[in-house]
Amino acid sequence: MTMRFGCTLVFGLLATVSQLDAQTQSAVPRQLSLNQALDLARANSPAYRTAQNATPEAAVAVRQANFALLPQANASGGLGYTGAGSTAFAGQTFNQSSPTESSSYALSISWLLSPSAFVGPSIAKAQQRATDDNVAVAGVTLVNDVTSQYLTVLRSAALVGVADEQVTRNQQFLTLAQIRFQVGQATQIDVTQAQVALTTAQVTVLQARQSQTLAKIELLRRMGVPSTADVDSVQLTEAFPLTEPHYDLDALRNTAHQSNPSLHVLGDDADAARLGVRQARMSYWPSFQISTGFNGFTQQFTNEDILLGPVLAGAQGTAANCVFQNELISRLTSPLPTANGGIIPDCNAYAGLNSTGTALDPNTVAAIKKSNEVFPFSFANQPWSIQLGISLPIWDGFSRALRVSQAHLQADNAYENQRAQTLVTDATIQQALVTVQTDWRTMQIQDTNRTAARLQLQLAQDRYRVGSGTALDVSDAQNQVTQAEASYVESVFDYHLAVVALETAVGHPLH
């Protein structure tokens, strides 16, 4: 029970820490500026973080390409066991009367000098630059998505303000109609018409607030943070000034050619493809390989008695030969020239046997057993060796020619893709610039129209107060003001969104 409680407590703490970490990452301030929204998006957007995940792999690829030029070192070791029995090999039978334990080690160093390997680091660096530029592309896309939706939320808030003003005007119109009805200067139809206009405006406010809430939810989604029940409490604080556009088309295109990461990605791909052609051509060159190494092994018999038998037989043969030599010396040498004349006094001891000659001397037995105790680390080292080789490809069935042709194809396609994207970028910039200029002029016209609609409403209200106008005239004028105000708001944010689209096409902020 104690262990179960401990595990539950640990898992509970881990879950709490994870929740706190998630809350920390996704905390949205109640006063949200555009920079804060972009910072949160860079930290939490799944699409942007997915693009960033490729950066470490590209760095490792560059490191691997650089170290491919250095020698490779390998170390290995092993343990083995072989039971007693017979083994057939090459038509011969080998008998092993005792199981054996074995171990081995090997340390090898090899160096392959291939001409194509010298181009590998340059290709890997070009691919790393392409990866970094892809992250930059994801960043530009993220800025465009978040900024556009931020503007959409602000537009929704502005349209809520327009709807609120319409409610206020309709409330004033209803009050005026009721007063005129009470003094007999208006009919019930005027009051009813004002009430209908008021309720219609109130419905419009509800719909505008709904659009604003939905726009905020979408903004948080693009930022990569979850929306909460109190999403309406998040207030956007960024102000977008209205500045007349004075952009030069050639300057915008030059900036894009230097800063647009989409063009840089294709340029990096073209660089890597051109290096690939050089690498493919180097397959015709010879390559060299140098290798050296050290190794050793042990083999220990588990049944030591089989080692003593051959040694005992050999020792007994040595003792018998010693006795024979002693007898021969005794017969040929008379008198003895020395104290013993070279005769070995104890042949059994000389041969490593006991006094009776029926078994090995204990010291000999101990030495034999000790020499067998080599497993696992008393290695018998093999002689050091080194090899030098050269490989010169002569005929491979046009495989190298095919690789060179494919590399040329990839390089040509990469160049054409880069040129095509440059044309697309130039055209997109020009189209976006035309849209920005058109939206700016449209906004000025809508501003003039808004001013005229307000003046027309003022005239209609004044005429209605003095009895020379009708309620329908006031209602129409109010609708025209509301439409003019909404059109102006739409034109303002259409202009801001067009500027954002232009910045995205250029790939660099314009202000």
Average pLDDT over residues 311-333: 82
> What integer pLDDT is reported at residue 90 of this predicted model?
61
Q: Is the pLDDT of residue 6 over 60?
A: no
| Stated pTM of the model | 0.76
The dihedral built from the CA positions of residue 203, 209, 214 and 215, taken in this order, carries a sign that is: positive
User: What gap in Å lies between CA 57 and CA 128, rounded to an integer?
Assistant: 9
Q: Is the pLDDT of residue 382 over 90?
A: no
> What integer pLDDT is reported at residue 18 of this predicted model?
42
Give 117's DSSP letter: G
Burial level of 312, CB count in 10 A (0-12/13-18/19+)?
buried
> What integer pLDDT is reported at residue 392 of this predicted model?
86
Average pLDDT over residues 25-49: 90
Average pLDDT over residues 452-463: 92
Q: Please report which confidence band the pLDDT of residue 225 belongs to, taking 50, 70 and 90 as the band edges.
A: very high
The dihedral built from the CA positions of residue 216, 218, 223 and 228, taken in this order, carries a sign that is: positive
Q: Please report which confidence band the pLDDT of residue 91 belongs to, taking 50, 70 and 90 as the band edges.
A: low
Q: Is the pLDDT of residue 210 over 80?
A: yes
pLDDT tens for 58-73 read 999 999 999 888 888 9
> What integer pLDDT is reported at residue 89 of this predicted model?
65
User: What gap in Å lies between CA 281 and CA 388, rounded to an integer?
Assistant: 24
Q: Please report which confidence band the pLDDT of residue 94 belongs to, taking 50, 70 and 90 as the band edges.
A: low
Reading the block at residue 48, the tokens are 């942007």
Helix (H) or strand (E) holding 86: strand 85-89
158 CB-near residues (< 8 Å, 6+ apart): 489, 492, 493
Q: Is the pLDDT of residue 337 over 70?
A: no
> What integer pLDDT is reported at residue 98 of this predicted model?
77
Q: Please report which confidence band the pLDDT of residue 13 belongs to, taking 50, 70 and 90 as the band edges.
A: very low
> What integer pLDDT is reported at residue 333 of this predicted model?
60
Reading the block at residue 320, the tokens are 């018998």
Tell me which of 83 and 450 has the higher pLDDT. 450
Query: Crossing angle for the helix pair 249-259 and 399-465, nearest 10 degrees?
Result: 130
Q: Is the pLDDT of residue 342 over 80?
A: no
Average pLDDT over residues 454-482: 89
C-alpha distance from residue 140 to each of 247, 258, 446, 457 (Å): 20, 15, 31, 45
Average pLDDT over residues 154-168: 95
User: What gap in Å lies between CA 295 and CA 379, rounded to an integer?
Assistant: 9
Q: Among 47-51, 310-314, 328-332, 428-432, whose mean pLDDT is lowest?
A: 328-332
> What integer pLDDT is reported at residue 267 of this predicted model?
95
Q: Is the pLDDT of residue 368 over 70?
A: yes
User: What gap in Å lies between CA 289 and CA 509, rounded to an integer?
Assistant: 53
Beta strands in 243-283 (DSSP E): none
User: What gap in Å lies between CA 397 and CA 349, rounded to an integer?
Assistant: 74
pLDDT tens for 257-277 read 999 999 999 999 999 999 999
Q: What is the mean pLDDT of the chain?
A: 87
Give CA 327 to chain center in angstroms: 90
User: What gap in Å lies between CA 152 and CA 497, rounded to an integer?
Assistant: 9
> What integer pLDDT is reported at residue 76 of this predicted model?
92
Q: Is the pLDDT of residue 501 over 80?
A: yes
